[in-house]
Amino acid sequence: MKKATSSAILFFVLTVSAYAQDIEPDGQIKILPYKDTQIRALEALNSDIKYFHKRIEELLSFLNKRKKIQNNEYVQFIPAIETYELPNRERFLFDKKFFLKVSGQGPFKLEGIRFVTRKSMVTKLRPVNDELGILKNENVSAPEANSIILSVQRKTDGGIQEETYNLSNIRNPDQRVKLVRSYRNNLVEVIQAITKYVEGTIQADRRDVETMLDGLDQGGSFQEESNK
């Protein structure tokens, strides 16, 4: 019995010692370094992000021409989707929108981007379980992805809990890469959404012109009324 107790104490001491190595002198948890493959992945992602920022910036003049930029900001909603989560097949509704912060009078400059995603439980007679995620970059001109911030707010029957993450406080390097990749993928979604709006506008304008021309071709004779 005494031997078992000593073994348990030794295991506890070793465990505490191992976790103590993960704590900085100021009390912060140590951030694990990147591996070479992760560094290369970040370099590729940063290159993509820089390119997509430029692509979005090129679309700002069109949005302004259509009077879609108000108070130096453009907002667009992404169609909501409903999904199930196992094992209880709880039903959740995801709705999403993005905000583009711009400056200038033309050419316009992209200053910042926010992606807001809301996850709400729609299953009836279940505890409150809502989640609001904000992925933002308020300094898109920064050369690296260090300005990307993820804020997560969870609302349950027990109250509201909020956490903020960025590349400086996420311990796992894989998760840091995943954060930057998620931001890159959201930029692609922005370009697709705006491009779809541009295509829809072009098609609508073409239909309007076609309808007008058809009306002119099918109209009767026109005689100017003269004064008698």
pLDDT for res 19? 47
Residue-range domain boundaries for the chain: 42-203
Weakly modelled stretches of the chain, pLDDT under 70: 1-28, 84-88, 123, 125, 208, 210, 214-228
**Do the beta carbons of residue 114 and residue 99 sit within 8 Å?**
yes
Q: What is the pLDDT of residues 128-142, one digit of tens each?
A: 778 899 999 999 988
Are residues 91 and 82 in contact, defined by beta-carbon separation less than 8 angstroms?
yes
Query: Which amino acid makes up residue 142?
Result: A
What's residue 182's pLDDT?
A: 96
Q: What is the pLDDT of residue 5?
A: 59
Q: Could you give the percent of the chain with pLDDT greater than 70?
A: 76
Q: Is the pTM of this model over 0.75?
A: yes
pLDDT per position as a tens digit, 46-80:
999 999 999 999 999 999 998 999 999 999 998 77
d(CA 80, CA 92): 10
